[in-house]
């Protein structure tokens, strides 16, 4: 999954996260990609923490969408 900013012709950094769904607590694979300039910046860490707080697995996300 792409995370953050990746500019044209920029080197891509691959990293893994320990992700759990915030609804059902199921662990999910956390293979992520981001741009070299964005990786490990202050904005990166801020957005990463927000992403972890709001992450839903595909099943829970689909349930939430279908309930609307």
Q: How many CA atoms lie within 13 A of 34 on its CB side?
A: 19
- SS3 of residue 16 by DSSP: strand
Q: Report whether pLDDT(11) > 90.
A: yes
Which pTM value belongs to this model? Answer: 0.71
Asked whether residue 40 carries a pLDDT value surpassing 80, the answer given is: yes
| pLDDT of 68 above 80 | no
């Amino acid at each position: 999954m792409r995370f953050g900013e990746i500019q044209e012709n920029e080197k891509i950094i691959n990293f893994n996260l320990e992700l759990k769904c915030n609804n059902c607590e199921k662990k999910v694979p956390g293979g992520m990609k981001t741009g070299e300039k964005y990786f490990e910046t202050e904005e990166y860490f801020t957005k990463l923490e927000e992403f972890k707080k709001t992450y839903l697995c595909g099943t829970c996300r689909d349930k939430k969408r279908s309930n609307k």
